[in-house]
Chains A and B, each alone.
Chain A
Amino acid sequence: MRPFTKHTGIAAPLDLANVDTDMIIPKQFLKSIKRTGFGKNLFDELRYQDEGQPDQDCTGRPLREDFVLNQARYQGSSILLARKNFGCGSSREHAPWALDDYGMRSVIAPSFADIFYNNCFKNGLLPIVLTEEEVDQLFKEVEANEGYELTIDLEAQKVIAPSGAEFSFEVDAFRKHCLLNGLDDIGLTLQESDAIKAYEEQRIKTAPWLFEARSL
């Protein structure tokens, strides 16, 4: 997993509460055999005027010009500013996959749905909870200033605005450790590689047949 230490990027304000995972990535895209490539269908129904199909080339599709990610000033954004209960609905891991694939590194909201919140950490995406007032303030500043960038310092647990104003946030120590070091579940287990190898060395002595090469 890609580590998350400090990140500075354009913030895009999605002024909508209860954004569910079906809005983040509609169900017709779940048939995909991939974990990547969902970025072009992120917020598909909010973003395009027509109904998206899997494997479709999205370049010529009619856009909803007013949707935040379609506006010129938010191109290249990597921090999503959202309202309460972001990521509710089904447990699909495709939602964080889509945000990540689009290029988002963090979502800032007053609250998140549980499963989505957990899934973010597994995929190198940092969900940040700030108070309603703080989020509101950020929304106003973003909308008033074109090219508005936020800096997120995970080590210090702070969101830093262009004015220098700082907003502290909470994050579970273990998750923080994993994100800072880019450790996913697999990465964590691989830290125990020596223990796994030691097990194999013992096991091959008592049960060598388990390690024989299979011949086709």
Chain B
Amino acid sequence: MAGKTLYDKLWDSHLVQQRDDGSALIYIDLQLLHEVTSPQAFEGLRMHGRKPWRLTSSLATPDHNVPTTVEERKSGVNGIADPVSKIQVTTLDDNCDEFGITEFKMTDIRQGIVHVVGPEQGATLPGMTVVCGDSHTSTHGAFGALAHGIGTSEVEHVLATQCLVQKKMKNMLVRVDGQLSPYVTAKDVVLAIIGKIGTAGGTGFAIEFGGEAIQSLSMEGRMTVCNMAIEAGARVGLIAVDQTTIDYVANRPYAPKGDHWDMAVEAWSDLVSDADAQFDEVVVLNGADIKPQVTWGTSPEMVIAIDQDIPRPEDQADPVAREGYARAWKYMGLEGKKTLADITLDRVFIGSCTNSRIEDLRSAAEVVKGRKVAATLKQAIVVPGSGLVKAQAEEEGLHEIFTAAGLEWREPGCSMCLAMNADKLGQGEHCASTSNRNFEGRQGFGGRTHLVSPAMAAAAAIAGHFVDVNDLVKQ
């Protein structure tokens, strides 16, 4: 019999019951909750007189709607200007209080984007099943955890039963061999992968990312890669557990301690795919070939290396692609432009669950240090992923580097990633963004998003247009 993949192992260890129709009951170890997708789930519990199955399995924090300016944040929930946003945040607070769920409220230093907070607290652990009413839950797969996003009715289902009805996915291995070049980051790797397999390439699969280049990444980098598995169509992204994982988890507030820690570390050593495991599909990239990536269109797969020309619709052989490219060209206002450097940027956003961790901020700060943002830029903001990331960055003096260079230093939250709060793009504005989705209107009505790494966003802020960060730092 062939060996098991990491996904197979995680599936097997959480299988409560296999059903005749091919579906199964899977046990959920951790559910993260935020204000947008949880209200009806709590309401459902109340309607049926149900209680959460196991309180210690949930952790909540508001993130999508919270304002990120210092001024608005001073008065906590009352500082939220938008009434609908305010109701959602208040409702989360009330629900968590009523049901006894641990919540990092807006004024708590541990508040932040759920996908930053879970790992930071050690709430996300190797070998767990993790769910959240948010598609970027795949982030937690970086810890060798089976993690994916779910809908509101499933949020309620997990709260009430601690289980989820699931069908098993297929296994895909994406291997990135060799080493990465300077200033080529996890973000560039995952964008290159999406460029290669497409936004539907991973549909129906759990993707395990492996190979030397992936193993060499820090935990922050691994989270960036798994975060965007969903942009390749896969609800689940995974990376095997190694010493880097264990070192990151050790001594986090919620991580096991004492005997339990030793037991856990031993159990986690099995969280790798067996050498003879069979994958349904294998994709290989060469790390050395990957250059800094920038998306030019309205889908994450519309991505090129910084030194490539923007692909033209008329050069596409496939008529469907030609039409899609033409629509993206029009929306992105690319007429008359040849390269990415020809696009004048209006705003720069460094943040989101993809790239708002300390390493991301360090990398951006290094680039802008001693430089000034371009005068043509309307705004450049840095939004840390959590209160603790913010505190750490301030301890390192990164906020001073940013503000000295002309970038705004904000309070933690999702912010301009999805424009549910006041931070958004105006119509037709181009933005270099470290987030994960460049769909039409994602960052504001008519807004034009270009996805990049924090270092590339920082370089773009200085130049006012896209440049290879390697060239900028040499100047």
Contacts and interface: CB of A to CB of B under 8 A. Distances in A.
Interface stretch (A3-11, A57-65, A66-74, A203-211): A203-211
27 contacts: A1-B48, A33-B91, A34-B39, A34-B40, A35-B43, A186-B44, A186-B50, A186-B156, A186-B160, A186-B161, A189-B157, A189-B163, A190-B161, A192-B163, A195-B16, A195-B17, A196-B16, A196-B25, A196-B53, A199-B16, A206-B267, A207-B267, A208-B263, A209-B261, A210-B29, A211-B54, A214-B123
A36 interface: yes
Contacts of B438: none
A52 to B, nearest CB: 16
B384 to A, nearest CB: 22
A192 B163 CA distance: 10
Given A186-B157, A214-B102, A209 B264 contact: yes
Contact of A211 (B56, B153, B264): B56
Contacts of B16: 192, 195-196, 199
Interface in A167-202: 184-186, 189-190, 192, 195-196, 199-200
B426 interface: no
Interface string A56-96: 00000000000000000000000000000000000001000
Interface of A: 1, 31, 33-36, 93, 122, 184-186, 189-190, 192, 195-196, 199-200, 203, 206-214, 216
Contact of A35 (B40, B50, B160): B40
Contact of A189 (B25, B43, B256): B25
Interface string B283-301: 0000000000000000000
Contacts, number: 85
Nearest to A211: B56
B127 interface: yes
Interface of B: 16-17, 25, 27, 29, 39-40, 43-44, 47-48, 50, 53-54, 56, 59, 84, 87-88, 91, 102, 123, 125, 127-128, 153, 156-157, 160-163, 165, 254, 256, 260-261, 263-264, 267
A154 B174 CA distance: 52
B415 to A, nearest CB: 20
Nearest to A37: B43
Given A33-B88, A34-B39, A34-B40, A214 B162 contact: no
Nearest to B17: A195
A-B pairs with the 4 shortest C-beta distances?
A209-B256, A33-B39, A209-B260, A189-B161
Contacts of B17: 192, 195
Nearest to B83: A55
Given A192-B16, A195-B16, A206-B267, 11 more contacts: A33-B40, A36-B43, A36-B47, A186-B157, A189-B165, A192-B25, A196-B25, A199-B27, A207-B127, A209-B260, A214-B59
Contacts of B254: 214
